Amino acid sequence: MAADPPVARFTQNNGQWPAQVAYRALVPGGALFVEHNALTYSLRSGGPMEQHGHEQDGPPTPPRAHAFRVSFEGAQQAVPEGSSPLAFYENYFLGNDPAHWGTRCPVFGTVALKGLYSGIDLHMDGHSGLKYDFIVAAGADPALVRLHFEGQENLNLKNGRLFVRTTAGTVIEEAPVAYQELPSGRRNVRCTYRLEGSHVSFDLPDGYDPSLPLVIDPVLTFASYSGSTADNFGFTATYDASGHLYGGGIVFATGYPTTVGVLDPSFNGGTIDIGLTKFAPDGTSLIWSTYIGGDQNESPHSLVVNSNDELYLLASTGSPDFPTTPGAYDPTFNGGTPISSGFPLGWVGMTGGYGYGHANGSDIAVAHFSTDATALIASTYIGGSGNDGLNNVLPLTHNYGDAFRGEIALDGNEQPVVASSTQSTDIPVSANAPQPTFGGGTQDAYLIRMNPALSTLQATFYGGSGEDSGYGVQFDSNGQVFITGGTTSTDLIMVGTPFQATNSGGADGYVACWNIGLTQVLSSTYIGTPSFDQSYFVQVDIADKVYVVGQTHGAFPVSAGVYSNPGSSQFIQKFSNDLATSEWSTVIGSGTGNEDISPSAFLVSDCGQIYFSGWGGVVNHNAQAAASTTDGLTVTSDAFQATTDGSDFYLMVLEVDATALNYATFLGGSSSPEHVDGGTSRFDKHGTVYQAVCAGCGGNDDFPSSPGAWSATNGSFNCNLGVFKFDLLQPTAHIAVDGPSYACLPGANISFINLSTGGSIFDWDFGDGTDTLDFEPTHTYVTPGTFTVRLVLSDEDVCTSNDTAYLEVQIILPGSSFIDPVATVCPGGTVQLHAHGGHAFEWLPAPGISDLFVPDPVVEPPGNTTYTVLVTDSCGTDTASVEVLIFTPTGIGAGNDTTVCLGSSTPLTASGGGTYSWTPAATLDDPGSATPLATPLDTTTYHVQITTPEGCLVEDSMQVNTQEGLPVPVLNDTAICLGDGVQLLAQGGDTYAWDALPGITDLTIPDPLVAPTVPTTFTVHLGNACGTVSASAFVDVHFVSALAWPDTTVCPGDRLVLHASGGTLYQWSPQSSGTDSLVLDPATAGSHTVTVSDDLGCSGSATVTVGLFPPATVTAGYETSIDYGESTLLSAYGTGTFLWSPDSSLNCSTCTHPIASPISTTTYVVEITDNNGCKATDEVTIYFRGTMFVPNTFTPNGDGVNDRFRALASEVSVFRLLVFNRWGEQVFSTDRLDGAWDGSYKGKESPIDTYVWRVDYTETNGTAHTEYGHVNLIR
């Protein structure tokens, strides 16, 4: 039986990638590079995980790349080996450098790292996607396996799975499983990861705890009620990557089981709230459970979970206070037309309604929950003035619960995309929407894309003049968006080449494709017959083919070669990606022509299997499907539940392209009418359905539940949300050897262990031309060699690819080990050793060995060395040794270099050899001699090859320098400063001999250092191979005599000039001056040094000392005031002679106490000259007391006599005169001593009268006065 081609292929590196890479396999979103003891993952994002190129609102998500590495810590240098070769090769022409091109690169289905650890191999298999297994031989230690992760953003364990988080996505390592075969049968060994920082290893905590064998068949993994005590209808379900089931429904009161810390633990009012629950993967517990809603009513339509286990909810709500988040696209309720729950009934097409309505109309609501449901990451309304989010028009509301159809899905960038319905003409649409306006009728389909923060919106209508609805949405690998639904419109947008371009009559289904940004309809088609038809779900397979499932009342076409139930009213149809071609279609059901079931989940798996689930029965009679029943539906012989009460769920699996029915079963209780009240449930890509159910209605407990389920009973008087998870497991091939993977002849028996899961056909190929179908065979090999064993695992009853596993076994003949003898090695030489007799070789550590684990290492021994190897075959380990001897020659080489006069000859010398060969030979008398005579024409290097008697070759050389004539001496005179030295440099000779004189020490070098104290002539004798000549050099010695003057003492503040002589350059310190004199104003006593240099740069110094007398002091006494005509005595205090000035009013200018007779205020200055000639001054002021005279009469008659009134004063510094009339009015003022009143006031003559005056004045000594008086004005 041939195996299917592998999904992941390993391409060998032939130079197109870095040297450390052995193989590369492409993985979703990147590549895996296999190295000798490491794996490197290179991932990228910016597009979907399994699809490419989805757009988003606003700028596209920038592409990201991320690499991380998993090295096997402590591993041996394993050699990757490919097996299961494919029948083609690959070529890589990367760049313009042929060195980086790889051609005819083999491609393999599996790769093994053999001997990665002692007794442990790593096998990587691409036949069912990428998987890898550690094969641990008996006696080996699994604790050796230790993985070191480098380069990731985060590494953590969650629910037993290893999550490697990068900027380009998350890689998930599934929880490890270990098996061990015992004589009594296979037992499962519990195995878990151990995470220590960035290191991962494996724990086997329970040893050999038994567990049930794995069964490959559809099995009920879990089923459970919510356990709500309130009436609780089931609507929608989904899953996450860990297998948790999320269920959503409506709750009519308090009593829904919530968990601690969730977003909303209590009922919010109105008739209903939404109840959301996350179940453990086995259904035994609640991970979290919460209400969400407002004070009116809301219903969940669809759920989906992103890679961070964050739940998205699509709902309809009539609550103005439904929770929204800051920054959401629309935080306010828009409302619409009331929908009555009574009569007349607001729910169209229903005979009894749903038990609630919407008094304020309805909006679409989208909510994004945190992983633990403790908070809303984002939540928003979307709506217009009509009702939104509900499918509430005839004939499209056909089944019970159709009002709540619609789907939310996540594109490759994990952006939410929603297919829904709207009755609002003003609901938000994008400016670049392909249909920016409402199409007509009562209702249009409505397509939305948002960002995860629910703050941006790209939206469009899709509808015509009739009624239209949006039910399902999916994506192809290019990111294009497909939606499906129902329509009565004859004028939907039809583009491309529609398979069915017109409405066939009444209600039809449709499927349409948009570009990533929802700005263009790329293709579309109607689906249907002249009778009623609708399409509810759309799927896209890995080849981008498009599938829809729906209901029909017409003669829906059935293609040749497909499974069908003729006359049935459920259809499945497959289209080309451009919707131009129907590749096949079929109908399934009871064949009665009536709707049997309402579709609730639909999947096309990656291997092309078609999964479908739905429900039927009496509840659907409340709508337009009055004959709905699950009676008469086909089930398979291995059905989980083979019988029905007519109101159950129906699950089925069709083979690829619907060629056959693979599996079908009922699921439901014996009395309750199980159904869904609306909304989507889902299959995962492994074929596991996650289904929400309205179960146990009437207060029954008949819905099947699994052992340990969270709730096995219905806690309500009526209905509970029921959930079930139904698995279809894929077969996985996995084989090992019971014991070593080799055996000795004769009697080479190998027992194989079958660790596979699933499958029923085991096709073994032992690699020696024999095979078997046994489950776990033992095979006897009769010839030696390496054999590849293959197991192809398949299952006739499961629509899945075969899985293939490989391993190699080695059959060997017993033998003894030995090493070929080796010859003596010359120093620095190498020799290759050759060991024989086994399949594994381990050389004991020794110097100079190239590889310890190959049979033929190259050695470069530093001396005599014994090399020992352990040779292992299936029969045990043997030891072999060889000694490598090193010949160590001594006294071998050429002589020292020499010099000859041109035209002369000199003997060369070499020793230690058996033969000699000198080059160049032209100037030698005997090139083969040990001592040939050389007559070189110019300087020549002679090379000699010396072959020792032992055959070792030694190369050496000597140089013969030639000279033409006597030396030509070069030697120059020089000069130095006294105390310095100078290095003489003689040139032109090979030897030098200086005459011994004072100041020279080394007489045999060309450049001795000399330091004479007097001028000296030094003579040197230069020699070469041609003779000797003499030369001399005169060394002059310079001395600088520096002088500086005067040494003196000065008064403070006196200026002084210092002088220096004896050179051409002068530098004073601490003051700077570049001349032979320095001008000083010394503030302190001190020394001043001058450095004197001559033209040669020789220098000397001299110092001048400058002293400073203490400052002279004098005091001139105190200031005083006198009246005019008086005298006063001045006094001077100090030691020295005095001189007063001004002396005109003094009786003596040099007296200590002169008498001063000033005629006005006068300042006298006294100068003292002390005994050192230093001077100082002080001053004293003699003030005159001020006088003031004011006349009592003036006659302003213009005769020039006594025409003005003024005050006369002396020794006054501040003055102000004021004049008042008899009424106290001020008629004049001035602050000038020469200011005078002319007898007028305000430009008019003042009357004859007596006036009052006031004078304010201050004497020059600071005394202030105020005087009053009268003045008579007479004309």
Does the domain at 818-884 match CATH 2.60.40? Answer given as yes
pLDDT score of 65 more than 60: no
Chain centroid offset of residue 935 CA: 75
| Best CA proximity match to 572, nearest among 663, 473, 656, 689 | 656
Count Cβ atoms within 10 A of the Cβ of residue 1055 and give its class: 0-12 exposed, 13-18 middle, 19 or more buried: exposed
Give tens-digit pLDDT for 551-570.
Answer: 999 999 999 999 999 999 99
pLDDT reported for residue 1210: 85
- The Cα 1121–Cα 1044 span in angstroms is 56
pLDDT reported for residue 214: 22
Q: Please name the residues in contact with 1257: beta carbons below 8 A apart, sequence gap of 6 or more.
A: 1186, 1188, 1209, 1212, 1214, 1215, 1216, 1264, 1265
pLDDT score of 729 more than 70: no
Task: Report how far apart, in Å, the C-alpha atoms of 356 and of each of 347, 403, 621 are.
Answer: 10, 13, 19
pLDDT score of 27 more than 70: no
| Best CA proximity match to 405, nearest among 371, 373, 443, 439 | 443
**Least reliable range by pLDDT among 162-171, 441-450, 990-999:** 162-171
Would you place residue 276 in the very low, low, confident or very high pLDDT band (cuts 50, 70, 90)? confident
Asked whether the beta carbons of 454 and 325 are under 8 A apart, the reply is yes
pLDDT reported for residue 1255: 95
Would you place residue 218 in the very low, low, confident or very high pLDDT band (cuts 50, 70, 90)? very low
- The Cα 80–Cα 113 span in angstroms is 5
Count Cβ atoms within 10 A of the Cβ of residue 847 and give its class: 0-12 exposed, 13-18 middle, 19 or more buried: exposed
Asked whether the beta carbons of 165 and 155 are under 8 A apart, the reply is yes
Give tens-digit pLDDT for 483-503.
Answer: 999 999 999 999 999 999 999
Phi, psi of 706 (to 5 degrees): -90, 160
DSSP state letters, 957-988: EEEEEEE-SS---B---EEEETT--EE---BS
Q: Please name the residues in contact with 1143: beta carbons below 8 A apart, sequence gap of 6 or more.
A: 1149
Domain 735-812 identical in fold to domain 818-884 = yes
Give tens-digit pLDDT for 1004-1018.
Answer: 999 999 999 999 999
pLDDT reported for residue 813: 74
Per cent of the chain over pLDDT 70 is 84
Domain ranges of the chain: 10-203, 735-812, 818-884, 893-963, 974-1038, 1043-1108, 1120-1184, 1187-1273
Give tens-digit pLDDT for 737-791.
Answer: 877 777 888 888 888 988 876 678 899 999 999 999 999 999 999 998 889 999 9
Does the domain at 1043-1108 match CATH 2.60.260.20? Answer given as no
Q: What is the mean pLDDT of residues 669-688?
A: 70
pLDDT score of 283 more than 70: no
ω before 28 within 30° of 0 (cis)? Answer: no
Phi, psi of 144 (to 5 degrees): -65, -25
Would you place residue 713 in the very low, low, confident or very high pLDDT band (cuts 50, 70, 90)? very low
Specify the CATH class of 1187-1273 in words: mainly beta
Helix, strand counts (H, E) of the chain: 0, 96
- For the beta carbon of residue 716, count every other beta carbon within 10 angstroms: 25
Give tens-digit pLDDT for 795-838.
Answer: 765 545 577 888 888 887 776 688 899 988 888 888 999 998 87
Give tens-digit pLDDT for 898-927.
Answer: 999 988 899 999 998 889 999 999 999 999
Kindly state the tokens that stand for 15. 């130079």
pLDDT reported for residue 463: 96
Give tens-digit pLDDT for 1041-1062.
Answer: 999 999 999 999 889 999 999 9
b/e map 269-282, b = 16+ CB within 10 Å: ebbbbbbbbbbbbb
ω before 920 within 30° of 0 (cis)? Answer: yes
pLDDT score of 511 more than 80: yes
DSSP state letters, 245-259: EEEEEEE-SS-----
Count Cβ atoms within 10 A of the Cβ of residue 903 and give its class: 0-12 exposed, 13-18 middle, 19 or more buried: exposed
Long-range own/partner contacts, residues 1225-1233 (CB < 8 A, 24 or more apart): 1227/1251, 1233/1207, 1233/1209
Would you place residue 1071 in the very low, low, confident or very high pLDDT band (cuts 50, 70, 90)? confident
- The Cα 162–Cα 1057 span in angstroms is 93
Task: Report how far apart, in Å, the C-alpha atoms of 956 and of each of 888, 923, 945, 1061, 1255 are.
Answer: 16, 18, 7, 68, 126
* Residue type (1 letter), 616: G
3.40.50.2300, 2.60.40.10, 3.60.20.10, 3.30.565.10: which CATH number matches 974-1038? 2.60.40.10
pLDDT reported for residue 601: 84
Q: Please name the residues in contact with 692: beta carbons below 8 A apart, sequence gap of 6 or more.
A: 234, 235, 236, 237, 247, 248, 249, 676, 679, 681, 721, 722, 723
Would you place residue 11 in the very low, low, confident or very high pLDDT band (cuts 50, 70, 90)? confident
- For the beta carbon of residue 1169, count every other beta carbon within 10 angstroms: 16
Give tens-digit pLDDT for 370-404.
Answer: 888 888 899 999 999 999 999 999 999 998 889 89
Kindly state the tokens that stand for 1248. 């004859």
pLDDT reported for residue 800: 59
Mean pLDDT of the chain: 83
194 beta partners: 201
Question: Of how many residues is the chain composed?
Answer: 1275
In three-state secondary structure terms, 619 is: helix
- The residue with tokens 């700005």 is 519
Q: Which CATH superfamily is domain 893-963 in?
A: Immunoglobulins (2.60.40.10)
pLDDT score of 524 more than 50: yes
- The residue with tokens 């159809």 is 405
Would you place residue 213 in the very low, low, confident or very high pLDDT band (cuts 50, 70, 90)? very low
pLDDT score of 1175 more than 60: yes
CATH architecture of 735-812: Sandwich (2.60)
Counting Cα atoms < 13 Å in the Cβ hemisphere of 549 gives: 23
pLDDT reported for residue 3: 38
pLDDT reported for residue 32: 83
Asked whether the beta carbons of 234 and 672 are under 8 A apart, the reply is no
Q: Are strands 661-667 and 771-772 parallel, antiparallel or unpaired?
A: unpaired
Per cent of the chain over pLDDT 90 is 44
Give tens-digit pLDDT for 730-740.
Answer: 566 788 887 77
DSSP state letters, 398-466: -STTGGG--EEEE-TT--EEEEEEE--SSS---TT-SS-S--SSS-EEEEEEE-TTS--EEEEEE--SS
Of 201-215, 245-259, 371-385, 603-617, the range with the highest mean pLDDT is 371-385
pLDDT reported for residue 797: 53
pLDDT reported for residue 268: 62
Would you place residue 234 in the very low, low, confident or very high pLDDT band (cuts 50, 70, 90)? low
pLDDT reported for residue 291: 72
Give tens-digit pLDDT for 1192-1214.
Answer: 999 999 899 999 999 998 888 89
Would you place residue 188 in the very low, low, confident or very high pLDDT band (cuts 50, 70, 90)? low
pLDDT score of 113 more than 70: yes
ω before 344 within 30° of 0 (cis)? Answer: yes
b/e map 12-49, b = 16+ CB within 10 Å: bbbebbeeebbbbbebebbbbbbbbbbbbbbbbbbbbe
